[in-house]
Amino acid sequence: MDFDEIVIDTERGPVPALTTGDGPIVVCWHGFPDHPASFGPLAERLVAAGRRVVAPFLRGHHPSTVDELPFGDGLTLAADAAAVNAALSDQPLDVIGHDIGAGVAGRLAAVWPERVRRVVTMSVPPPGALGTIFDDPAQQQRFFYLFLFLLPGVAEALFNDELIGYLWRTWSPGLEVPEHVRQLYADPGVRANALKLYRANFDRSLHDPALTELARISEKPAPIPMLVLAGAEDGCITPDNYKSAATGLAPGSRVEIVAGAGHFLQLDRPDEVAALALDWLR
């Protein structure tokens, strides 16, 4: 899939993005360690169904914004997403989020539901259902990189191309890292910003104080139904972690486990993911 690169002028500053197609907009937010271009196979199918795909770069994950991430909390990214939707249309937009992008989509829908029409999230349970995810020692082991990233100096030394390749191969068995992902994370500034996003999970000094009041609702279930997709072979967050997902979802939501898919299910099973997403977005 060939994308055009654009810059979306928002009230929170310019947001670089990839786009393709014509028709009603679907905004797709990527995760870690990833790149908007990884939505290519899914975008191809959405465009064939008459949609326009806009895939922004997370703040700090593009050369033009690498110095613009003073805070790394999830609300910062969700506020960016609300600003992107407002800049693209005066109507609510459909949103798809993968991995970190799933948290972006969930918090966007919780805090700014007027900006969202339909939501699909992939590979991470909804924010409101994450409270017990660290209770399982096996899941703690799969999350080794979260704890590694908290160690100053050690994280910077070990967060390299080899680690990224290991994460991709274990999260989606047999899947190799796309070259566009390798190139993106070759930038030391992008790697530093990715570490900041993870450190913000445990360090409140990395939370934007201007958004503090919104944190009261951002982790609660969004008031609109969401489709939550997970890969049956996900080596990062296994399907059993979605058993309590309903506690973080509005009535009418659905959880679907995609057979044969790993963490990067939009690449592992693009036909199945596109069919589920298009049905939900209709």
- What pLDDT digit, counting tens, does each position of 51-69 carry? 999 999 999 999 999 999 9
Count of domains for the chain: 1
pLDDT score for 103 = 96
3 state DSSP class of 58: coil
Query: Are the CB atoms for 51 and 25 separated by under 8 Å?
Result: yes
- In the predicted model, what is the mean pLDDT of the chain? 96
Whole-model pTM: value is 0.97
Examine the pLDDT at 1 and tell me if it is beyond 90: no
Tell me the pLDDT band of 132, cut-offs 50, 70 and 90. confident
**Tokens representing 204?**
């409140």
Q: What is the pLDDT of residues 213-234, one digit of tens each?
A: 999 999 999 999 999 999 999 9
Q: What is the pLDDT of residues 248-272, one digit of tens each?
A: 899 999 999 999 999 999 999 999 9
- CB neighbours (10 Å) of residue 132? 13
- For 102, the domain range is 4-281
Average of pLDDT values for 153-159?
97
pLDDT score for 29 = 98
Q: What is the CATH number of the domain that holds 86?
A: 3.40.50.1820
Average of pLDDT values for 119-124?
98
Q: How far apart are CA 148 and CA 249, in angstroms?
A: 30
With 0-12 CB in 10 A as exposed, 13-18 as middle and 19+ as buried, what is 210? exposed
pLDDT score for 251 = 95
- CB neighbours (10 Å) of residue 2? 8
- CB neighbours (10 Å) of residue 240? 12
Q: How far apart are CA 37 and CA 148, in angstroms?
A: 27
pLDDT score for 244 = 86
Tell me the pLDDT band of 107, cut-offs 50, 70 and 90. very high
